[in-house]
Amino acid sequence: MGRNRRSGFWRSLNQAWRGVLYTVRTQSHVQFHFVAGTSVLLLAWWSEVSRFEWLILIFAIGSVIGAEVMNSAIEIVVDMVQPNFHPLAGMAKDVAAGAVLVTSLQAAVIGIIVFAPVLYRFAVEMLY
């Protein structure tokens, strides 16, 4: 019984990774957010943000990418269930995309709060 649970766990983990990799390979928005997230992490490393700021930035990046993956899953299911145009199918896709927009705006505000002081200090140092 214990062995079955472990193999079930690893199978589930493998399927989850397969889903993430599929989304990264096929969805340009997810690719964009991975590149943007990596850029933010490089900027965080360069600007030596605090440990708390690291946590907030990682949370924001993960939220955006998670929302994008969920949006992709919803789009796949809607396309499977309703291959022809239907107003409710379109609205479901729009609502899912709205979740990505909300998390992206949240992440942008977090980025501004974390990096504005750092970039301001850098700009002042460059002038003098």
Q: Is 53 annotated as a binding residue?
A: no
Given 68, 78, 100, 111, the catalytic residue:
68
Question: 68 an active-site residue?
Answer: yes
Spatial neighbors of 56 by CB under 8 A, at least 6 apart, are 110, 114
Q: Is 94 annotated as a binding residue?
A: yes
Q: Cα(66)–Cα(29) distance, rounded to whole angstroms? A: 12
Q: Is 79 annotated as a binding residue?
A: no
Helix/strand/coil (H/E/C) assignment for every residue in 24-45: HHHCHHHHHHHHHHHHHHHHHH
Q: Is 75 annotated as a binding residue?
A: yes
Q: Is 46 annotated as a binding residue?
A: yes
Residue numbering of the annotated binding site for ATP:
75, 93-94
Catalytic residue positions? 68
Binding residues: 46-49, 68, 75, 93-94
